[in-house]
Amino acid sequence: MRYSAFSVFLNALRGNKDWKPAWRSPVPKNHYDVVIIGGGGHGLATAYYLAKEFGVTNVAVLEKGYIGSGNVGRNTTIIRSNYLLQGNNPFYELSMKLWEGLEQDFNFNAMVSQRGVLNLYHSDAQRDAYTRRGNAMRLHGVDADLLDRNTVRQMLPFLDFDNARFPIQGALMQKRGGTVRHDAVAWGYARGADSRGVDIIQNCEVTGIRRENGRVVGVETSQGFIGCGKLALAAAGNSTVVADMVDMKLPIESHVLQAFVSEGLKPFIDNVVTFGAGHFYVSQSDKGGLVFGGDIDGYNSYAQRGNLATVEHVAEAGVAMIPALSRVRVLRSWGGVMDMSMDGSPIIDRTPIDNLYLNAGWCYGGFKATPASGFCYAHLIAKNEPHETGRAFRLDRFARGRMIDEKGVGSQPNLH
C-alpha cells in the first residue's frame, strides 16, 4: 500500500481497520543470494538499495532482536556532513543528499528536519580549526558558515557566552544538518525492502558461520541453517562477535555511549548545538523533550547501559553550556554499544574470505551515515567493487598506514 494524505483520509473514514503491517514476518527460506547479518539501520538500508538500485531481491536480513531495538533506535537522531578529511567528506555528503530525498524515495514520513547544526568554538585556535574545516567542506560542495559571537548570541541567547573556562566566541554552522526520526528510518527502510521481496527475519540470532573450501556457504541461526551466496556483516557493536565466527580479528573495540531525553518543554532550542570542549550536544525533539548526550564511558562494554559518573559529567557540561538546564528534569537515559574503530572511521570492504563482506567501525557516527552506508555497501555486495565515495573505508588501511583519523588522536578507540 502506498502511503499518502489521501490514504490516511480514506482509512480514517473506514475506521482505520484496513491498515496492513508494514512488513511481513516470513519463515526463512533454505537459501538466499545475499544474507545480511544485522537488521539495524545499515543492514536494512543495504537490503533496500540492493533490491531497489541493484536488482538483487533474493535477500534476507537477520536480526537477533526486533527491528529498531539496536543502535538505530538508540542514537540522538542527528544528521550532518561537516567532515574535514577527503575520505570522509564526499561519503557523508552523499548521505546528506540521500537524506534530503529519502521520504519521497521510500514513501515514509521520517520527519527529516534540516534545522541546522552548530559547533561552538571557544578560542582563537578552535576558530582557526573550524575555519579550515568549513573551507574544506565548501571545497567539497558542502554548505558551511562561520558565525561570530554576536550572530550566535542572536540565535541562541540562552547559552552561557561568558563561561569562565570556555567563553563562546562563535560557531561553525551547517544549515543543511539537522535531525531525523530514527525509528521511522528503520521502519521506512524495512517496509521498502520488504515490498521489493526482501525477507526480514526478526528474533533470529546467528550462532555460527559455515564455510566450505574457503567460502561461506551459510549461517547457523536460532531458526536453523540458512544458506547464502554472499554474506554481509552489519552487526555494529557486535561485529567482533560475528567476525570471531570466521576467526577474523578486527581493529575494533566495543564501547557504551549514553544518551538522554528530558521532560517535554516549550520550544526553545531550534537547532542542534554541540559543545565539543565540554562533551555535550543537544537538540529539541518535536515532542518537546531535549535530546542530548556526551562522550562514551571509556571502557569496553557490550552492555546497553552506562555509568552514573558519565551521567553526572554530561549534566555538568550541559549546565555549563546552558545554565537554564539546571532546572530541567531528565526523563530517560539509555546506552548503545558502539563499534569503535582504531581511527574513528568506518570499514566498508571485502574480507580475506571471497564472499564475505564487512560493514563496521561506525563509532558513534553511524546514524547520519545510514543511507550512504547502505548504498555503498549494496554497491560493494552487488558489483564486488566499492562505490567511489566509500573507497577509502578499507579494512587494510591500518596495515597500509592510510588511516582516516578525523580527530587526530591515533589508535586509541576510547578517545575518538
Contact residues toward another protein (CB under 8 A) are 238, 240-241, 249-254, 297-303, 307, 309, 342, 398-399, 411-414
Residues 270-280, buried b or exposed e (16+ Cβ, 10 A)? ebbbbbbbbbb
* Smaller CB separation from another protein, 276 or 298: 298
Closest approach, Cβ 336 to another protein, in A, equals 14
* Smaller CB separation from another protein, 241 or 409: 241
Closest approach, Cβ 403 to another protein, in A, equals 9
Cell numbers representing residue 407 in the block: 580527530
Tell me which residue of 99, 3, 57, 70 sits closest to 235, measured CA to CA: 70
> What element of type H or E holds 350?
strand 347-350
* Smaller CB separation from another protein, 288 or 352: 352
Cell numbers representing residue 356 in the block: 564475505
* Smaller CB separation from another protein, 221 or 240: 240
Closest approach, Cβ 309 to another protein, in A, equals 5
Cα–Cα distance for residue pair 395/377, rounded to 1 Å: 13
Closest approach, Cβ 129 to another protein, in A, equals 26
Closest approach, Cβ 298 to another protein, in A, equals 5
Closest approach, Cβ 347 to another protein, in A, equals 12
Cα–Cα distance for residue pair 303/336, rounded to 1 Å: 8
* Single-letter amino acid, residue 235: A
Query: What does each C-alpha distance from 402 to 95, 252, 281, 342, 393 come to in angstroms?
Result: 23, 16, 30, 12, 10
Tell me which residue of 116, 115, 117, 128 sits closest to 169, measured CA to CA: 128
* Smaller CB separation from another protein, 194 or 297: 297
Closest approach, Cβ 391 to another protein, in A, equals 20
* Smaller CB separation from another protein, 272 or 315: 315
* Smaller CB separation from another protein, 84 or 248: 248
> What element of type H or E holds 272?
strand 272-275
> What element of type H or E holds 178?
strand 178-179
